[in-house]
C-alpha cells in the first residue's frame, strides 16, 4: 500500500470558483480545484501554491485549511487538504502544466449554477461549499473517506518519479485576473 498527501487551493472571484478540468476521452471528465501531490519537504501550503502556479499560472496567498478528504484505491490511500485563498494575481493559463499532464485541459472560474451540470470533486463544491462560503468558511470540515472510481494518472508511481519541468503546450489559455479576500467574499 502506498500513501500520499496532496493540497489544493479554493480560489473565489466574484462568486465564481476556480476549477481545472481533468479529461481523458472515454475514461474520465471532471472538475476540481487546482492542486496536487506534495514534493520533497514542502508543506501543504507550499504544495498548493506550487500546484496553482503550475496548473493555472496564478500566484496565491493562502489563508487556512477549509476541507480535508481521504481517497482510497486498492493500492493507494491519500489525504487531500483544500486551502482557502485570500489573494491571488496573474494570468489564467495552462502553459506551466507538466508534459505528462495532458489530462489537464481547462481552467476557469465557474458560478454555482455552472457546477450543477458538471462532475465536480469533491462533491461538496456543488452545494454546501457555497453555504460555507456565505458564512465565511467558519470551520475546517472533514469530508470523510471516499473510494476512487478509477486510477487518477497524477498519483501513479511513474509520475511521482519524473523530474519537474516547464512545458508550453500547443494551445494556451490566458485570462488576466487578480483579487484579494475582500473581492472573493460573497456579497
Domains by residue range for the chain, with CATH = 2-184 (3.90.79.10)
Instruction: For 111-154, write each residue's pLDDT tens digit.
Output: 999 999 999 999 999 999 999 999 999 999 999 999 886 555 54
Predicted TM-score (pTM) of the model is 0.82
CB neighbours of 176 closer than 8 A, spacing ≥ 6?
91, 92
DSSP string, 9-58: EE-EETTEEEEEEEEETTTEEEEE-SEEE--TT--HHHHHHHHHHHHH-E
Instruction: For 29-53, write each residue's pLDDT tens digit.
Output: 999 999 999 999 999 999 999 999 9
The grid coordinates of residue 97 equal: 502544466
pLDDT at 162 over 80: no
Q: Which of 54, 50, 46, 57 lies closest to 90 in space, CA to CA?
A: 57
pLDDT band at 166 (very low <50, low <70, confident <90, very high): very low
- Angle at alpha carbon of residue 74, lines to 164 and 160, rounded to 5°: 5
Amino acid at each position: 500500500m502506498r500513501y500520499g498527501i496532496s493540497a489544493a487551493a479554493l480560489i473565489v472571484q466574484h462568486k465564481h470558483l476556480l476549477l481545472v478540468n481533468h479529461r481523458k476521452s472515454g475514461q474520465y471528465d471532471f472538475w476540481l480545484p487546482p492542486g496536487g501531490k506534495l514534493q520533497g519537504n514542502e508543506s501543504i501550503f507550499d504544495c498548493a501554491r506550487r500546484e496553482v502556479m503550475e496548473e493555472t499560472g496564478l500566484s496565491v496567498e493562502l489563508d487556512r485549511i477549509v476541507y480535508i478528504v481521504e481517497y482510497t484505491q486498492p493500492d493507494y490511500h491519500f489525504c487531500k487538504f483544500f486551502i482557502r485563498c485570500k489573494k491571488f494575481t496573474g494570468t489564467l493559463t495552462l502553459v506551466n502544466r507538466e508534459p505528462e499532464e495532458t489530462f489537464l485541459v481547462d481552467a476557469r472560474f465557474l458560478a454555482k449554477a455552472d457546477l450543477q451540470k458538471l462532475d465536480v470533486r469533491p462533491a461538496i463544491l456543488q452545494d454546501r461549499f457555497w453555504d460555507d462560503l456565505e458564512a465565511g468558511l467558519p470551520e475546517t470540515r472533514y469530508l470523510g473517506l471516499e473510494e476512487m472510481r478509477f486510477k487518477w494518472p497524477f498519483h501513479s508511481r511513474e509520475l511521482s518519479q519524473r523530474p519537474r519541468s516547464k512545458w508550453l503546450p500547443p494551445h494556451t489559455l490566458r485570462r488576466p485576473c487578480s483579487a484579494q479576500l475582500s473581492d472573493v467574499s460573497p456579497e
